[in-house]
């Protein structure tokens, strides 16, 4: 003989079936007041599905994880503004081939800009005093590949040594450098000149863990009415460089995994 609850449950299922868009029956349960339904999945030998969210920091780790745990229905989503690439290893199957998935196995590549990029991008477009620019060049001289690092370091040392002089004029030379003429304030020192490259090239990784990229920088100067000298450098198209680097990473992932990323955000 069935209980009152069992009778009500049977009547509810028979009179109110619930279907999805594919006419698949969704299981329901009627729970008496004060009672709860507790899942028993944790007592099984293994979970009923993979629930795993992994974050890696390098492209190689991202590709390596996909190679090890790839699934035929896997999909990749690339979000350039956030510098993130997300792979859903158990994504929904293609239309007409497989049913929907819970998408609970995800891998995120959280790309970080390199230390060198932060350093050079941080001073991009800023006005630097003669001493500040000299210190900056000396601290980051190893990143400069053209002109030769030694010549740039020499120019920085000359700038530091003449930070108290009064500059009078500047002349653009045929070799791409700028020659600054100054007057020495100390009696008997007379006049002098300094040559500083008007353009230079740095070689740094844009994203951490990626191969270095050659980036051209244009150097600008200003001589004040009092004879002070300031410098400003600008990297060539820094925003475009970031976009190109992200696109290159997506191409690399597609070539190595056979999965072409979708450009967009996964909610």
Q: Summarize pLDDT for 159-204 with one digit per residue, the tens.
A: 877 877 888 777 887 777 888 888 876 554 557 888 888 899 999 9
Q: d(Cα 24, Cα 51) in Å, to the nearest integer?
A: 23
Quick one: 266 and 206 in the same domain?
Answer: no
Quick one: 246 and 232 in the same domain?
Answer: no
Provide the H-helix boundaries in 73-212. Answer: 115-123, 130-139, 149-161
Q: d(Cα 86, Cα 253) in Å, to the nearest integer?
A: 12
Residue 92 maps to a domain: yes
Quick one: 193 and 206 in the same domain?
Answer: yes
Q: d(Cα 267, Cα 265) in Å, to the nearest integer?
A: 6
Residue 79 maps to a domain: yes
The backbone torsions φ and ψ at residue 193, rounded to the nearest 5 degrees and listed phi first, read -135, 155
Quick one: 32 and 70 in the same domain?
Answer: no
Quick one: 191 and 99 in the same domain?
Answer: no
| pLDDT tens track for 200-236 | 999 999 999 999 999 999 988 888 878 888 889 999 9
Quick one: 227 and 166 in the same domain?
Answer: yes
For the chain, what is the domain count?
3
Quick one: 103 and 86 in the same domain?
Answer: yes
Of 190, 194, 152, 159, give the one whose Cα is nearest residue 173.
194
Global pTM value: 0.77
Parent domain of 8: 1-37
3-state secondary structure of 257: helix
Residue 45 maps to a domain: no
Quick one: 98 and 2 in the same domain?
Answer: no
Q: Which stretch of DSSP H or E encloses residue 67?
A: helix 59-69
Which whole-number Å values give the CA distances from 81 to 52, 84, 177, 224, 234, in the listed order?
Answer: 25, 8, 37, 40, 22
């Amino acid at each position: 003989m069935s209980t009152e609850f069992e009778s009500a449950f049977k009547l509810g299922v028979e009179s109110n079936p619930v279907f999805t868009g594919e006419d698949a029956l969704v299981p329901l349960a009627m729970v008496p007041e004060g009672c709860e339904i507790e899942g028993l999945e944790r007592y099984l030998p293994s979970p009923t599905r993979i629930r795993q969210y992994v974050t890696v920091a390098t492209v190689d780790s991202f590709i390596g994880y996909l190679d090890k745990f790839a699934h035929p229905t896997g999909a990749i989503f690339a979000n350039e503004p956030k510098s993130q690439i997300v792979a859903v290893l158990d994504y929904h199957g293609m239309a007409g081939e497989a049913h929907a998935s819970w998408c609970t196995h995800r891998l995120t590549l959280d790309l970080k800009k390199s230390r060198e990029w932060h350093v050079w991008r941080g001073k991009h477009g800023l006005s630097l005093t003669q001493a500040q620019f000299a210190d900056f060049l000396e601290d980051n001289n190893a990143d400069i590949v053209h002109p030769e690092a030694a010549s740039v370091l020499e120019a920085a040392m000359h700038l530091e040594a003449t930070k108290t002089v009064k500059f009078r004029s500047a002349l653009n030379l045929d070799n791409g450098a700028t020659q600054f003429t100054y007057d020495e304030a100390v009696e008997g020192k007379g006049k002098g000149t300094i040559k500083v490259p008007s353009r230079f090239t740095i070689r740094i990784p844009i994203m951490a863990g990626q191969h270095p990229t050659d980036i051209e920088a244009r150097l600008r100067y200003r001589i004040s009415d009092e004879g002070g000298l300031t410098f400003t450098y600008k990297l060539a198209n820094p925003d475009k460089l970031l976009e190109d680097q992200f696109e290159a990473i997506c191409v690399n992932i597609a070539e190595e995994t056979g999965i072409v990323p979708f450009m967009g955000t996964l909610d």
